Amino acid sequence: MAGKRYLFTPGPTPVPPEVLAATAAPVLHHRGPDFKALLAETLERLKLVCRTGNDVILFTASGTGAFESAVANLLSPGDRVLAVSQGEFGERWQKIAGAYGADVVPLSYAWGESPRAEDLAAALAQTPADVVFLVHSETSTGVVADIQPLAAVAKEAGALVVVDAVSSLGAVPLETDAWGVDVVVSGSQKALMTPPGLALATVSPGAWERCETVQTPRFYFDWRRYRKAAGAGSTPFTPAVATVAGLHAALGLILAEGLEQAFARHAALGRACREGAKAMGLELFSPDEERSAVVTAILTPEDADARELVLALRDRHGITVAGGHGDMASKLFRIGHIGWFDIFDITTALAAVELVLGDMGAQIERGVAVTRALEAYAQTVAA
């Protein structure tokens, strides 16, 4: 089985065969009736997954493109924004808003911490803002923020609420309308089980109002162009038609499983991964809580460089896990479990980590991680 590869990263993620097959179908012309029907159904399915009645805009871009679209359509230069950061992607909100000339007030936590609604309320009381940017699942650390109370205090303070759900959409609950989230941005390559290349933004009536009045120049990411084209069942520019076909198929699979079932599966996989890592004697960097169901960030034992572990897993076993970002690169590795994952993906990843860390000199009892992960999974599923 030389060359067999396993992708256990929190994006891109493995893509089911039905989705791969859809991406390989003959290319449709984007102005033809077949594609129009496909696009319309894809947008309807996205609304169900985002739990919104608001417009959904689909871009040919990575998730960061949808970030940039939110900044360009919601902010004029000088507008005050509060950007909450608990890792790499919160910092990205701060950087993009800054690049567009916004007056950015950061509310920054140490990597690995979870943002708190009372801190946001206090920050907004001190410095009111037009827009609040939040990250739902901070993929760099494994923290999944409790969005509902954060969105509530931002709304209470009169701000629009924008949420990065790039790695959370379809994996953990996100009630866009019920929680009053004005804009959700996400990407195709995570829990949506589709190759990279598509990004989306949901836009509330309040967000449309701001979009109409802001002064920032925009073209490719001008939401109004997408709304106008959608009225005619189309897109303003040539979309990645094959990837849209894949996304359509993937959303069909997600809805057939059922969102609640998908959330429960992710929670059980997260629990299994954390329990397995702890049984191996490793320390978690991710919080050990139910919500942390997207990616498990794990610290390597002292003297074991995480970069060496990640490379050895790939070179010796064909297994790709993610390393740590920035300063954490030598200390941390991350096992993703979003999208098309089951318990045997988790046990495979844990077994390989155990093997390689053992080779690197760590004192690890063989077999306990897999046993404990299977047990924890069974307990969570039965509960």
- Contacts to ligand PLP by CB under 6 A: 11, 62-64, 89, 135, 137, 139, 164, 166-167, 187
3-state secondary structure 2-32: CCCCEECCCCCCCCCHHHHHHHCCCCCCCCC
Q: Looking at residue 102, what DSSP letter applies?
A: -
**Closest to ligand PLP by CB, 94 or 347:** 94
**Closest to ligand PLP by CB, 135 or 350:** 135
DSSP string computed for 287-313: --STT--SEEEEEPPTT--HHHHHHHH
170 and 192 Cβ atoms separated by less than 8 Å:
yes
**Closest to ligand PLP by CB, 13 or 235:** 13
**Residue among 320, 168, 187, 165 at smallest CA distance from 243:** 187
Cα(149)–Cα(208) distance, integer angstroms? 23
Question: Residue type for 2, please?
Answer: A
- On the 0-12 / 13-18 / 19+ scale of CB atoms within 10 A, 5 is exposed
**Closest to ligand PLP by CB, 12 or 276:** 12
**Closest to ligand PLP by CB, 92 or 248:** 92
- Provide the minimum distance between the beta carbon of 14 and ligand PLP in the complex, in angstroms, as a whole number: 15
- Provide the minimum distance between the beta carbon of 262 and ligand PLP in the complex, in angstroms, as a whole number: 18
Q: Which residues pair with 214 in a beta bridge?
A: none
Give every CB contact of residue 246 below 8 A, 6+ residues apart in sequence: 15, 19, 20, 22, 23, 188, 194, 195
**Closest to ligand PLP by CB, 279 or 322:** 322
**Closest to ligand PLP by CB, 11 or 373:** 11
- Provide the minimum distance between the beta carbon of 212 and ligand PLP in the complex, in angstroms, as a whole number: 26
Q: Which residues pair with 80 in a beta bridge?
A: 103
- Provide the minimum distance between the beta carbon of 138 and ligand PLP in the complex, in angstroms, as a whole number: 6
**Closest to ligand PLP by CB, 200 or 312:** 200
**Residue among 28, 25, 48 at smallest CA distance from 38:** 28
- Provide the minimum distance between the beta carbon of 304 and ligand PLP in the complex, in angstroms, as a whole number: 25
**Closest to ligand PLP by CB, 27 or 99:** 99
- Provide the minimum distance between the beta carbon of 359 and ligand PLP in the complex, in angstroms, as a whole number: 29
**Residue among 288, 309, 297 at smallest CA distance from 361:** 309
- Provide the minimum distance between the beta carbon of 320 and ligand PLP in the complex, in angstroms, as a whole number: 14
- Provide the minimum distance between the beta carbon of 12 and ligand PLP in the complex, in angstroms, as a whole number: 9
- Provide the minimum distance between the beta carbon of 198 and ligand PLP in the complex, in angstroms, as a whole number: 9
Minimal CB distance to ligand PLP: which residue? 63
Q: Which residues pair with 163 in a beta bridge?
A: 134, 184
Check the CA dihedral 255-44-244-217 and report its sign. negative
Give the C-alpha distances (Å, rounded to integers) separating 212 from 130, 155, 256, 293: 15, 20, 37, 37
